[in-house]
Structure 1
Amino acid sequence: MITDIESASPALCRLQLGSELRQLRLNAGLTSRQVVRKLLWSPSKLTRLETGENAVVETADVMALCQIFGADAERTELLMEYAAVTKRKRDWWQSAQYRAVITAGFKAHLGLEATASAVQKYESEYVPGLLQTEAYVRVIHQRAHQGLNSEEIDRVVDVRMTRKAVLHGKNPLKLTAIINEAVLHRQVGGAEVMRAQLAHIVEIASAPNIRIQVVPFKLGDHPGMNGAFTIFHFRDRIALKPIIYFENLADGWVSRHEGDVERHEEAFNDLEALAPGPQESLDLIKKAMKEL
């Protein structure tokens, strides 16, 4: 439960609201189909509410759901306040400046990242976004999004740099990043850009909320070989269960399915145990810098 709603972000209010609405529905013994039939909604509308995907939540929609679920007056008022926050405030990535260069899937990622207390990230192909330098980001997006013009690329880079604020401040995000050794040797943007990128990782790894490990080639086969993934964890572990995020060339998407979460948590824990510790991993990064 959010203790200070007025200072809470819209992203957190949407996520908390969606989780509590879903729990109320389950407690009432209702399926999604039954609810949307009662309200004459599309199935996707209820799904978006329960997953916190809507930028704005209408208080009238929350009231209607609370009545169907039999929520008491106190709970109804609280959920209405969550919805009201989404109408009064906007998350920074919802501004017109960024809207055109952020996909729907990545908006979901930004919302989860902004509200999570801890992130576990395995990356096999490139440096994780929160650890990237501006030059590295620019090269990646010039190659991956060749349809974007220079102004749009600037906006994408700005998004990447702005989101790194979650690593700083009063309650910084706890980031545990495990990187395939191949990432260290792939010269994105050439030797100079890559050397600066690796130096940045070494520097930022000294922060108490950041842990970085490298999966070396000599380890052979390992639990991360099926691809990159991100696990988001939240302070309210009862109401907000961990969520998995995946990404490909088309877009990104999330999974809340308990089986998916368990498999990826197990894979990450295994990678953490198999990979060298942070200090030895930093030595691998410094060695790659010297080779450049």
Structure 2
Amino acid sequence: MNTDVESATPALCRLQLGNELRHLRQKAGLTSTQVVRKLFWSPSKLTRLETGENLVVEPSDIMALCQIFEADAETTEVLKGYAAVTKTKRDWWQSTEYRPVIAPGFKAYLGLEATAVALHNYESEFVPGLLQTEAYVRATHQRAHQGLTEEEIGRMVAIRMTRQEALRREVPLKFAAIVSEAVLHRQVGGPEVMRAQLSHIAEVTSLPNVRVQVIPFKSGAHPGMNGAFHTLQFHDRDALKPIIYFENLADAWVSRRQTDVELHEDVFSELQAIALGPQESLSMIKKAMKEH
């Protein structure tokens, strides 16, 4: 465990804590059922702790688990430190300004995105969120969420803009995006908004940690046609295994199932091979700018 607890975000602490607890339980040879029976907990409480879904973790719960797992004193103190961070700090998306417009499933994703070191995103209908301009975000939400007030849409725009800081943070997120050619031609917000949006993508691709590829129409059928997805990878792949994120009009959710992860990682690799290379993709993006 090499996370600097004092400087870590609550999201990272929750994930790291959950994985350490699961590892300790397995090392102790205990099932989840055995643990919750000893502590008179509901099964969902332990599951939420081990998957990092509890916003706040009580240090007393960590002490109880560490006693059952026979963890040493140093490990116990580190894990209590993780729990303390969740009680004393807030992730930016937990603020009163943003909380009302963030669905539970998307809230879980924001915690994962904030702690990931690499993100792969395939989109067939719109520009990936981390590459969207403010005008494009606003136009998208005005059309897709017609029941929202202008104030609520403004908050959603602010959330999207804040997320993009991950591309320029001290240790930047490695972001690889693949989009269908249709994304370049769909006039979200009108021609002026689209020209600015495509210009922004061309600018961001100059960052060494950003790679954008386009799948042209002439490629025909491909494995990404079943829908958009995100795969997230973390610093310690053994402790924090990759995760898949999906969303639709009704819900947003993550999958930690290894078979799901492997399937989508393989599909993304196939899409990278099918798509135009980064320079050819940039040329197509610039050509589409002129057509708008």
For Structure 1 versus Structure 2, the TM-score category normalised by the shorter chain is: over 0.9
Offset at 1:39? Answer: 1.9
Once residues 35 and 250 of structure 2 are traced to their aligned partners in structure 1, the CA distance between those partners, rounded to angstroms, is: 32
Counterpart of 1:96 in 2: which secondary structure? coil
Aligned 1:26-175 pairs, distance under 5 A:
26-175=26-175
1:236 corresponds in structure 2 to 236
AA matched with 1:149: T
Aligned partner of 1:201 in structure 2 is 201
Cα drift, residue 286 of structure 1: 1.2
Query: How big is the shift at 1:33?
Result: 2.3
- TM-score, L = length of structure 2: 0.97
CA distance in 1, matches of 2:10, 2:117: 16
Mapped to 2, the partners of 1:36 and 1:228 lie a distance apart of 37
Partner of 2:2: 2
SS in 1 for 2:74: helix
1:198-244 C-alpha deviation (Å, 9 max, x unpaired)? 11101111110100000111111112111111111111122111111
| Bigger mean CA deviation after superposition, 139-148 or 81-90 | 139-148
Between the aligned partners of 1:2 and 1:130, the Cα distance in structure 2 is 28
**Cα deviations by residue, 1:71-93 (Å, 9 ceiling, x for unpaired):** 22221111111111111111010
| 32-41 vs 248-257, greater mean Cα deviation | 32-41
In the aligned structure 2, how far is the partner of 1:254 from the partner of 1:218?
32
State the one-letter code of the partner of 2:113.
E
Question: What CA deviation, in whole Å up to 9, does each residue of 1:38-84 have, x standing for no partner?
Answer: 22222222121111111111111111111222222221111111111
Once structures 1 and 2 are overlaid, which stretch shifts more, 45-54 or 255-264? Answer: 45-54
SS at match of 1:254: strand
Identity of matched residues, %: 72
Instruction: Judge which range, 97-106 or 35-44, deviates more.
Output: 35-44
Determine the structure 1 residue equivalent to 2:221.
221
- Rounded Cα–Cα distance in structure 2 between residues aligned with 1:107 and 1:258: 22
Measured in 2, the distance between the counterparts of 1:13 and 1:202 equals 35
Q: Secondary structure at the match of 2:143?
A: helix
- When structure 1 is superposed on structure 2, of 32-41 and 109-118 the one drifting more is 32-41
What CA distance in whole angstroms lies between the structure 2 residues aligned with 1:32 and 1:183?
45
Contact kept, 8 Å, 1:59 with 1:83, in 2: the verdict is yes
For residues 83 and 2 of structure 2, the distance between their equivalents in structure 1, rounded to whole angstroms, comes to: 13
Q: Deviations over 1:82-105 (max 9, x none)?
A: 111111111010011110000111
CA offset at residue 30 of structure 1? Answer: 2.2
Post-superposition shift, 1:3?
A: 3.4
Indicate the residue corresponding to 1:269 in structure 2.
Answer: 269
**Whole-angstrom distance in 2 between the partners of 1:145 and 1:48:** 30
Distance 1:42 1:147 in 2: 37
CA distance in 2, matches of 1:151, 1:36: 44
* 1:211 and 2:207 aligned: no
Deviates more, 1:28-37 or 1:157-166: 28-37
Q: Which runs of 5+ in 2 are unaligned?
A: none
Aligned length in residues: 292
Unpaired runs of 5+ in structure 1?
Answer: none
The one-letter code sitting in structure 2 at the alignment partner of 1:132 is: Q
Whole-Å Cα distance in 1 between the matches of residues 224 and 169 of structure 2? 31
* Deviation at residue 148 of structure 1 after TM alignment: 1.3
For residues 39 and 66 of structure 1, the distance between their equivalents in structure 2, rounded to whole angstroms, comes to 12
- What letter corresponds to residue 104 of structure 2 in structure 1? A
Structure 1 vs Structure 2 CA RMSD:
1.1
Query: SS at 1:66's partner residue?
Result: helix
